[in-house]
Amino acid sequence: MSSPTKDSPVTTRDFLSWKSSGRKIVVVTAYDALFGRLVDEAGVDCVLVGDSVNQVLAGEPSTLSATLEQMIYHARAVRRGVRRAMVVVDLPFLSYQVSREEAVRNAGRVMKETGAQAVKLEGGATMAATVSALVEIGIPVMGHIGLTPQSVHALGGYRVQGREEEAARRLESDAAALESAGVFSIVLELLPAGLAGRISAGRGVPTIGIGAGAKCDGQVLVLPDLLGLNDGFAPKFLKRYASLADEVRSAIGRYGDEVRGGAYPDAEHSF
Protein backbone atom coordinates (compact mmCIF):
# COMPACT_ATOMS: atom_id res chain seq x y z
CA MET A 1 0.00 0.00 0.00
CA SER A 2 1.32 3.45 -0.90
CA SER A 3 1.60 5.98 1.90
CA PRO A 4 -0.21 9.32 1.66
CA THR A 5 1.84 12.38 2.47
CA LYS A 6 -0.44 13.54 5.29
CA ASP A 7 -3.42 12.40 7.30
CA SER A 8 -5.60 15.50 6.99
CA PRO A 9 -8.11 15.72 4.10
CA VAL A 10 -6.76 16.69 0.69
CA THR A 11 -7.71 20.18 -0.49
CA THR A 12 -7.38 22.27 -3.62
CA ARG A 13 -4.41 24.00 -1.96
CA ASP A 14 -2.65 20.64 -1.86
CA PHE A 15 -3.19 20.21 -5.61
CA LEU A 16 -1.53 23.56 -6.28
CA SER A 17 1.28 22.83 -3.82
CA TRP A 18 1.96 19.46 -5.40
CA LYS A 19 2.09 21.10 -8.83
CA SER A 20 4.77 23.48 -7.56
CA SER A 21 6.82 20.74 -5.91
CA GLY A 22 6.54 18.25 -8.77
CA ARG A 23 4.77 15.65 -6.64
CA LYS A 24 2.49 13.54 -8.86
CA ILE A 25 -1.24 13.37 -8.07
CA VAL A 26 -3.08 10.03 -7.95
CA VAL A 27 -6.75 9.97 -8.98
CA VAL A 28 -9.14 7.04 -9.47
CA THR A 29 -12.87 6.75 -9.99
CA ALA A 30 -15.24 5.12 -7.51
CA TYR A 31 -19.00 4.80 -7.41
CA ASP A 32 -19.87 3.34 -3.99
CA ALA A 33 -18.92 3.44 -0.32
CA LEU A 34 -17.02 0.14 -0.33
CA PHE A 35 -14.61 1.03 -3.12
CA GLY A 36 -14.48 4.61 -1.86
CA ARG A 37 -13.12 3.30 1.43
CA LEU A 38 -10.69 0.88 -0.21
CA VAL A 39 -9.11 3.38 -2.58
CA ASP A 40 -8.94 5.97 0.20
CA GLU A 41 -7.14 3.49 2.46
CA ALA A 42 -4.77 2.73 -0.42
CA GLY A 43 -3.65 6.36 -0.34
CA VAL A 44 -5.10 7.94 -3.48
CA ASP A 45 -5.25 11.73 -3.46
CA CYS A 46 -8.56 12.20 -5.23
CA VAL A 47 -11.63 10.08 -5.89
CA LEU A 48 -13.57 11.07 -8.99
CA VAL A 49 -17.22 10.07 -9.01
CA GLY A 50 -17.30 10.00 -12.79
CA ASP A 51 -20.30 9.95 -15.06
CA SER A 52 -18.55 6.84 -16.39
CA VAL A 53 -20.76 5.16 -13.78
CA ASN A 54 -23.41 5.28 -16.50
CA GLN A 55 -21.34 2.87 -18.59
CA VAL A 56 -19.50 0.88 -15.93
CA LEU A 57 -22.39 0.13 -13.57
CA ALA A 58 -25.53 0.94 -15.57
CA GLY A 59 -24.35 -0.65 -18.84
CA GLU A 60 -25.21 2.34 -21.02
CA PRO A 61 -23.26 2.90 -24.27
CA SER A 62 -22.09 6.41 -23.26
CA THR A 63 -22.15 8.93 -20.43
CA LEU A 64 -24.81 11.07 -22.10
CA SER A 65 -27.86 9.67 -20.32
CA ALA A 66 -26.41 10.04 -16.81
CA THR A 67 -28.66 12.15 -14.59
CA LEU A 68 -27.98 14.63 -11.82
CA GLU A 69 -29.87 12.40 -9.35
CA GLN A 70 -27.72 9.44 -10.40
CA MET A 71 -24.51 11.40 -9.77
CA ILE A 72 -25.73 12.69 -6.41
CA TYR A 73 -26.70 9.18 -5.29
CA HIS A 74 -23.30 7.67 -6.12
CA ALA A 75 -21.35 10.65 -4.79
CA ARG A 76 -23.13 10.44 -1.44
CA ALA A 77 -22.26 6.77 -1.24
CA VAL A 78 -18.60 7.36 -2.09
CA ARG A 79 -18.34 10.21 0.38
CA ARG A 80 -19.44 7.90 3.20
CA GLY A 81 -16.43 5.68 2.50
CA VAL A 82 -13.76 8.35 1.99
CA ARG A 83 -11.92 10.04 4.84
CA ARG A 84 -8.78 11.63 3.38
CA ALA A 85 -8.98 11.88 -0.42
CA MET A 86 -10.68 14.77 -2.16
CA VAL A 87 -14.03 13.75 -3.69
CA VAL A 88 -14.82 15.34 -7.06
CA VAL A 89 -18.13 14.77 -8.84
CA ASP A 90 -18.81 14.93 -12.57
CA LEU A 91 -21.61 17.26 -13.60
CA PRO A 92 -23.63 15.21 -16.10
CA PHE A 93 -24.63 16.26 -19.61
CA LEU A 94 -27.10 19.18 -19.76
CA SER A 95 -26.77 19.94 -16.04
CA TYR A 96 -24.46 22.91 -16.73
CA GLN A 97 -24.55 23.73 -20.46
CA VAL A 98 -28.00 25.35 -20.70
CA SER A 99 -27.26 28.44 -18.60
CA ARG A 100 -24.88 29.69 -15.93
CA GLU A 101 -27.80 29.95 -13.51
CA GLU A 102 -28.70 26.30 -14.02
CA ALA A 103 -25.04 25.30 -13.67
CA VAL A 104 -24.82 27.14 -10.33
CA ARG A 105 -28.04 25.54 -9.09
CA ASN A 106 -27.06 22.02 -10.09
CA ALA A 107 -23.45 22.24 -8.93
CA GLY A 108 -24.72 23.70 -5.68
CA ARG A 109 -27.01 20.71 -5.23
CA VAL A 110 -24.10 18.35 -5.76
CA MET A 111 -21.99 20.11 -3.14
CA LYS A 112 -24.85 20.46 -0.65
CA GLU A 113 -26.29 16.96 -0.95
CA THR A 114 -23.12 14.87 -1.28
CA GLY A 115 -20.43 16.46 0.88
CA ALA A 116 -18.02 16.45 -2.08
CA GLN A 117 -15.25 19.03 -2.25
CA ALA A 118 -15.45 19.90 -5.95
CA VAL A 119 -17.20 19.32 -9.27
CA LYS A 120 -15.83 18.55 -12.73
CA LEU A 121 -17.19 19.76 -16.04
CA GLU A 122 -16.15 19.31 -19.65
CA GLY A 123 -15.20 21.99 -22.15
CA GLY A 124 -12.64 24.72 -22.73
CA ALA A 125 -12.95 28.41 -23.47
CA THR A 126 -16.69 28.14 -24.13
CA MET A 127 -17.21 27.01 -20.54
CA ALA A 128 -14.92 29.60 -18.93
CA ALA A 129 -17.76 31.94 -17.92
CA THR A 130 -19.61 29.03 -16.31
CA VAL A 131 -16.48 28.02 -14.41
CA SER A 132 -16.06 31.60 -13.20
CA ALA A 133 -19.67 31.70 -12.00
CA LEU A 134 -19.17 28.54 -9.96
CA VAL A 135 -15.82 29.60 -8.53
CA GLU A 136 -17.22 33.01 -7.56
CA ILE A 137 -19.75 31.39 -5.22
CA GLY A 138 -17.19 29.04 -3.68
CA ILE A 139 -17.52 25.86 -5.72
CA PRO A 140 -14.10 24.45 -6.73
CA VAL A 141 -14.04 23.27 -10.34
CA MET A 142 -11.88 20.70 -12.12
CA GLY A 143 -11.80 21.26 -15.88
CA HIS A 144 -11.69 18.61 -18.61
CA ILE A 145 -10.46 19.04 -22.19
CA GLY A 146 -9.28 16.83 -25.03
CA LEU A 147 -11.55 13.86 -25.54
CA THR A 148 -14.67 15.02 -23.73
CA PRO A 149 -17.02 12.01 -23.55
CA GLN A 150 -20.17 14.13 -23.34
CA SER A 151 -19.27 15.45 -26.82
CA VAL A 152 -18.35 12.06 -28.27
CA HIS A 153 -20.75 12.34 -31.22
CA ALA A 154 -19.51 15.80 -32.18
CA LEU A 155 -15.92 14.57 -31.94
CA GLY A 156 -16.58 11.60 -34.21
CA GLY A 157 -15.99 8.92 -31.61
CA TYR A 158 -13.47 8.08 -28.92
CA ARG A 159 -10.21 9.12 -30.55
CA VAL A 160 -7.07 11.08 -29.74
CA GLN A 161 -7.56 14.86 -29.92
CA GLY A 162 -5.09 17.60 -30.85
CA ARG A 163 -3.02 15.79 -33.47
CA GLU A 164 -3.42 18.65 -35.97
CA GLU A 165 -1.62 21.95 -35.31
CA GLU A 166 -4.78 24.05 -35.22
CA ALA A 167 -6.52 21.65 -32.84
CA ALA A 168 -3.45 21.61 -30.60
CA ARG A 169 -3.38 25.41 -30.44
CA ARG A 170 -7.08 25.45 -29.58
CA LEU A 171 -6.55 23.01 -26.73
CA GLU A 172 -3.68 25.08 -25.35
CA SER A 173 -5.95 28.13 -25.47
CA ASP A 174 -8.71 26.16 -23.76
CA ALA A 175 -6.38 25.23 -20.90
CA ALA A 176 -5.33 28.86 -20.49
CA ALA A 177 -8.96 30.02 -20.47
CA LEU A 178 -9.91 27.46 -17.83
CA GLU A 179 -6.99 28.48 -15.62
CA SER A 180 -7.95 32.15 -15.95
CA ALA A 181 -11.53 31.22 -15.03
CA GLY A 182 -10.33 29.68 -11.77
CA VAL A 183 -10.15 25.89 -12.11
CA PHE A 184 -7.86 24.17 -9.61
CA SER A 185 -6.89 21.40 -12.05
CA ILE A 186 -7.58 20.20 -15.58
CA VAL A 187 -8.12 16.66 -16.87
CA LEU A 188 -6.39 16.04 -20.20
CA GLU A 189 -7.93 13.04 -21.96
CA LEU A 190 -6.53 11.29 -25.03
CA LEU A 191 -3.96 13.88 -26.12
CA PRO A 192 -0.58 13.31 -27.76
CA ALA A 193 2.04 13.14 -25.01
CA GLY A 194 3.99 16.09 -26.40
CA LEU A 195 0.96 18.37 -26.45
CA ALA A 196 -0.09 17.30 -22.95
CA GLY A 197 3.44 18.04 -21.77
CA ARG A 198 3.36 21.55 -23.24
CA ILE A 199 0.00 22.28 -21.66
CA SER A 200 1.19 20.94 -18.30
CA ALA A 201 4.40 22.97 -18.37
CA GLY A 202 2.58 26.14 -19.39
CA ARG A 203 -0.10 26.15 -16.70
CA GLY A 204 0.03 27.01 -13.02
CA VAL A 205 -2.67 24.47 -12.11
CA PRO A 206 -2.03 20.73 -12.22
CA THR A 207 -3.07 18.57 -15.15
CA ILE A 208 -4.50 15.10 -14.61
CA GLY A 209 -3.89 12.82 -17.57
CA ILE A 210 -5.77 9.85 -18.94
CA GLY A 211 -4.23 8.63 -22.15
CA ALA A 212 -2.13 11.81 -22.26
CA GLY A 213 1.37 10.62 -21.44
CA ALA A 214 3.75 10.87 -18.51
CA LYS A 215 4.32 14.63 -18.37
CA CYS A 216 0.96 15.45 -16.81
CA ASP A 217 1.02 16.40 -13.15
CA GLY A 218 -1.12 13.42 -12.20
CA GLN A 219 -3.02 10.48 -13.63
CA VAL A 220 -6.58 9.16 -13.42
CA LEU A 221 -7.95 5.73 -14.33
CA VAL A 222 -11.38 4.18 -14.07
CA LEU A 223 -11.20 1.77 -11.14
CA PRO A 224 -12.85 -1.32 -12.74
CA ASP A 225 -10.48 -0.88 -15.69
CA LEU A 226 -7.26 -0.79 -13.66
CA LEU A 227 -8.47 -3.70 -11.51
CA GLY A 228 -9.20 -5.83 -14.57
CA LEU A 229 -12.89 -6.15 -13.69
CA ASN A 230 -13.90 -4.65 -17.02
CA ASP A 231 -11.76 -7.11 -18.94
CA GLY A 232 -13.41 -6.45 -22.30
CA PHE A 233 -12.00 -2.92 -22.37
CA ALA A 234 -8.36 -2.63 -23.46
CA PRO A 235 -7.32 0.77 -24.87
CA LYS A 236 -3.63 1.48 -25.42
CA PHE A 237 -3.31 3.80 -22.42
CA LEU A 238 -4.76 1.35 -19.88
CA LYS A 239 -2.47 -0.66 -17.62
CA ARG A 240 -4.22 -3.37 -15.61
CA TYR A 241 -2.88 -3.80 -12.08
CA ALA A 242 -4.97 -6.91 -11.36
CA SER A 243 -7.13 -9.46 -13.19
CA LEU A 244 -10.12 -9.48 -10.88
CA ALA A 245 -12.67 -10.53 -13.49
CA ASP A 246 -11.00 -13.96 -13.59
CA GLU A 247 -10.96 -14.08 -9.78
CA VAL A 248 -14.65 -13.18 -9.57
CA ARG A 249 -15.70 -15.80 -12.12
CA SER A 250 -13.59 -18.42 -10.37
CA ALA A 251 -14.91 -17.61 -6.90
CA ILE A 252 -18.56 -17.61 -8.00
CA GLY A 253 -17.99 -20.85 -9.89
CA ARG A 254 -16.54 -22.53 -6.78
CA TYR A 255 -19.46 -21.27 -4.70
CA GLY A 256 -21.94 -22.66 -7.22
CA ASP A 257 -20.19 -26.03 -7.28
CA GLU A 258 -20.26 -26.30 -3.48
CA VAL A 259 -23.93 -25.33 -3.24
CA ARG A 260 -24.94 -27.84 -5.90
CA GLY A 261 -22.75 -30.55 -4.35
CA GLY A 262 -23.99 -29.96 -0.81
CA ALA A 263 -20.58 -28.91 0.51
CA TYR A 264 -21.81 -25.44 1.47
CA PRO A 265 -22.97 -24.64 4.04
CA ASP A 266 -21.14 -27.16 6.23
CA ALA A 267 -21.10 -27.42 10.03
CA GLU A 268 -18.55 -24.62 10.34
CA HIS A 269 -20.85 -22.20 8.54
CA SER A 270 -24.10 -23.21 10.23
CA PHE A 271 -25.67 -22.18 13.54
> DSSP for 36-91?
HHHHHHTT-SEEEE-TTHHHHTT--SSSTT--HHHHHHHHHHHHHH-SSSEEEEEP
Are the C-beta atoms of 84 and 123 separated by less than 8 Å?
no
| Cα separation, 162 vs 170, whole angstroms | 8
Q: Tens digits of per-residue pLDDT, 197-251?
A: 999 999 999 999 999 999 999 999 999 999 999 999 999 999 999 999 999 999 9
CB atoms under 10 Å from CB of 80, counted, come to 15
260 and 211 in a common domain: no
| Cα separation, 29 vs 21, whole angstroms | 24
> Which listed residue (102, 189, 247, 268) is catalytic?
189
Show the domain range for 262: 244-271
**Residue 105 resides in a domain:** yes
217 and 121 in a common domain: yes
| pLDDT at 5 exceeding the cut of 80 | no
Global pTM reads: 0.96
204 and 268 in a common domain: no
| pLDDT at 30 exceeding the cut of 60 | yes
191 and 133 in a common domain: yes
Instruction: Please give the pLDDT value at position 246.
Output: 97
Q: How confident is the model at residue 6 (pLDDT cuts 50, 70, 90)?
A: low
The domain total for the chain is 2
Catalytic annotation present for 136: no
Q: Tens digits of per-residue pLDDT, 183-208?
A: 999 999 999 999 999 999 999 999 99
